[in-house]
Amino acid sequence: MVKRSLFLRLYLTCTFIMLLYGVILANLPGEFHFFSAPVLLITLGFLMILLLLSKWCLAPLTKTLSAIDNGIDAFKDNDFSLTIHNQNYTEVSNLVKIYNELATVLRNERMDIFQRELLLDTVIQSTPVAMVLVNSNNKVVYSNLAAKEMFRQTRKLEGGDFSQLIANLTPVLQTATIERSEGLVSDVLDDQALVYNINCQQFTLNGREHQLYLYKNMTNEISRKETDMWKQVIRLISHELNNSLAPISSLTRSAQKIIAQPEHRHMLNDVLETIGNRASHLHGFIEQYASFSRLPKPNLKAVDLSSFFQQIETLIGVTCYCDVVREQAMFDAGQIEQVIINLVKNAKESGSAHEDVGFEMKQQGRQLTFNIFDRGTGLSTQQQQQALLPFFTTKATGTGVGLALCNEIVIGHQGKLRLYNRTQGGLCVSFSLELTD
């Protein structure tokens, strides 16, 4: 399509008017000078005509700019439906084209975002995790169907007062919600034991503080995990008992035969000693499981870090590193010492050379970090995921209690045990304790 020029149209119009004005002035009688009344009236008339024609010539420009202004105002309201007819005037054609392209892009993006929001809302509404978003005024701004069911409501929760909704929860969940607790919470409803995983996160949305509450019913999942764990425990204990009781039973029969045959009584001491060793092993095995179940709470005291490190260095007999600025930290020295000893023992049994096993204690900001590392075979991804579970072991003669016990001690100190493979082979087990003032 051929483009037209507004300014050319304006130029031609003005030129025509000025020529016409000149012709009229030239044909006036001589007695009319420039400042005479008729000439001034004619001049004023032509100026009015020139103004009106100029406005007419520039009308497409004015309308286009006005349309663009209205379109931009619509953008502010998230309305991208307005497009402008391009009349192909040179001065504004590119501007109109850019505006229409921008409107198209924003409209498509808006539609794409809308579809994603619709998909996300469908997923959120279908999830079994109860979700409630609360603003700074404690009003619910978003929730899903699981939340409506959990708070025992028949209508939408949006716009409701969250503090009033909490009253529909059980006392245990009310307390956990008000205190913004995180983690597993055990509860009882209608004589049925329930376990919820509660998560509370604070974040800024549209410049305002919001709180997101998530409630997940973990009862069935934990019940299955507990059942699987008990089955595994029973298998392990049964296996260990059979391994000890079978030879004890056999040795007891041998002892009875030896007693009946006096000439073989010199063998009786060896038989009884073997029975004693097996009984002692069985006692140690059961004691390991008992220690896991009766782990005491940590006795937090101020520990001199320099003396603690020197004691650890003496006990574990591997290369040790220390990079700590603080002189003291609050923790149970006996329990943390036991964790380090157990982890170093595992590192020594990993197949690593003794000189490649090491211990490191260092300060990272307000964290006191302990690292135990080796150059053994490391762990597979599946083994890393299961390593901290009670009764899981990669050793042929292991009980699966040691690492789980270490993790329980670290958790008791508000920390968490982490395992990761080293880049050039081997494993590093790490945990951190918070340094308080």
Which CATH number goes with the domain that contains 163?
A: 3.30.450.20
H/E element, 420: strand 418-421
Query: Does 326 share its domain with 422?
Result: yes
Q: Is residue 111 part of a domain?
A: no
Contact 182, 200 (CB under 8 A): yes
Query: Does 399 share its domain with 323?
Result: yes
The tally of domains found in the chain comes to 3
The CB-side HSE value for 152 (13 A sphere, CA atoms) comes to 7
Query: Does 409 share its domain with 428?
Result: yes
Query: Does 417 share its domain with 367?
Result: yes
Query: Does 339 share its domain with 426?
Result: yes
Assigned token pair, 403: 């690492």
Assigned token pair, 370: 């302990």
Q: Give Rg (Cα) of the chain.
A: 42
- Domain limit, last residue, from 217, 244, 267: 217
Q: Is residue 318 part of a domain?
A: yes
Alpha helix segments (H runs only) across 27-185: 37-57, 59-76, 90-126, 145-150, 162-166, 171-178
Q: Is residue 2 part of a domain?
A: no
SS3 391: coil
CA distances from 55 to 42, 152, 206 (A): 20, 67, 45
Apex CA 231: angle with CA 225 and CA 236, to 5°? Answer: 125
Q: Is residue 55 part of a domain?
A: no
SS3 363: strand
> What CATH number has the domain bearing residue 430?
3.30.565.10
Query: Does 283 share its domain with 332?
Result: no
* CA–CA gap between residue 80 and residue 420 (Å, rounded): 50
What letter would DSSP give residue 302?
E
Q: Which domain holds residue 330?
A: 301-434
Query: Does 211 share its domain with 265?
Result: no
Confidence (pLDDT) at 369: 92
Confidence (pLDDT) at 396: 47
Query: Does 286 share its domain with 376?
Result: no
Query: Does 175 share its domain with 263?
Result: no
H/E element, 39: helix 37-57
Query: Does 310 share its domain with 211?
Result: no
Query: Does 417 share its domain with 307?
Result: yes
Q: Is residue 75 part of a domain?
A: no
Contact 437, 324 (CB under 8 A): no
- Domain limit, last residue, from 293, 328, 350: 293
Q: Which residues, at least 6 apart from 336, have a Cβ–Cβ distance to it below 8 Å?
A: 370, 409, 413, 433
Contact 232, 391 (CB under 8 A): yes
- Domain limit, last residue, from 170, 193, 217: 217
* CA–CA gap between residue 388 and residue 429 (Å, rounded): 11
| Strand partners of residue 322 | 361
Hunting for tokens 């270490």 — which residue is that? 406
Q: Is residue 269 part of a domain?
A: yes
* CA–CA gap between residue 407 and residue 436 (Å, rounded): 21
Query: Does 199 share its domain with 289?
Result: no
| Nearest to 283, CA basis, from 293, 291, 294, 295 | 291
What b/e string do you get for 126-148 counting C-beta neighbours within 10 Å, with b at 16 or more? eeeebbbbbbeeeebbbbbebbb
Q: Is residue 12 part of a domain?
A: no
Question: Residue 18: what residue type?
Answer: M
DSSP E strands in 170-300: the ranges are: 183-189, 192-205, 208-217
Q: Is residue 386 part of a domain?
A: yes
CA distances from 3 to 6, 90, 110, 345 (A): 10, 6, 32, 85
Confidence (pLDDT) at 263: 67
* CA–CA gap between residue 292 and residue 289 (Å, rounded): 5
Averaged pLDDT in 10-residue chunks for the chain of 437 residues: 62 73 65 62 74 72 77 79 74 78 85 83 84 90 89 87 88 86 76 79 82 85 64 63 67 73 70 71 61 70 90 86 90 88 86 89 90 87 64 50 76 84 88 84
